[in-house]
Amino acid sequence: VSHMEADAGWIYLIDDETGDLCLSAQNNVKDDCFDGDKRIPSGKPFSDKVFSSGKPLLVKNSSEDPRVSCRDGRTESMAGVPISSRGNTLGVLGVSNRKASYFTSMDIQLLKTVGSQLGVAIENTKLIGQLQDKMRQIKLINELSGIINSSLSIGTIFRIMVSEIKKLVEYD
């Protein structure tokens, strides 16, 4: 935000379960521009338009643009780009300024680069989480194999396996 001399900036990421865009980070954005839970259900103009199209959006005069739903009197120009990785759109990076026609195509290029880098970082974070889950599963399998190999009592093996599986599988 400060590098571009924008007045405000935000990042929305998709919630994989609900499909809503959820505010993940913001700087200097007024709270009255958000619902209480900071979600944008499908259909909200600016960020949803960027997300659904997968293309950047530059608004030079937000007070007259129907794609902008928050008219807080402090924002005239807005720029938004998709956050993406490997062809998947993961969210939206946006900035705004009080001055009309403030952002240019060069600003969009910079935001696109940042959005791509964010997308790779987010995707890597998800992959690391998946890898950690798999490692926990492998560790459990190794522990169970050791127990099975060290015990001759089927009752003992069964009790230990049930106990260890409960740690791995969520249940009610």
Tokens matching residue 69: 């739903």
Q: So what's the pLDDT on residue 32?
A: 55
In angstroms, the CA 102 to CA 104 distance is: 7
Q: So what's the pLDDT on residue 40?
A: 63
- Taking the complete model, does pTM exceed 0.85, yes or no? no
- Give me the mean pLDDT over the 33-51 stretch: 65
In angstroms, the CA 135 to CA 44 distance is: 40
Residue 118 pLDDT class (50, 70, 90 cuts): very high
Q: What percentage of the chain exceeds 90 in pLDDT?
A: 30
Average pLDDT, the chain: 82
Tokens matching residue 62: 């937000």
Tokens matching residue 93: 């990076």
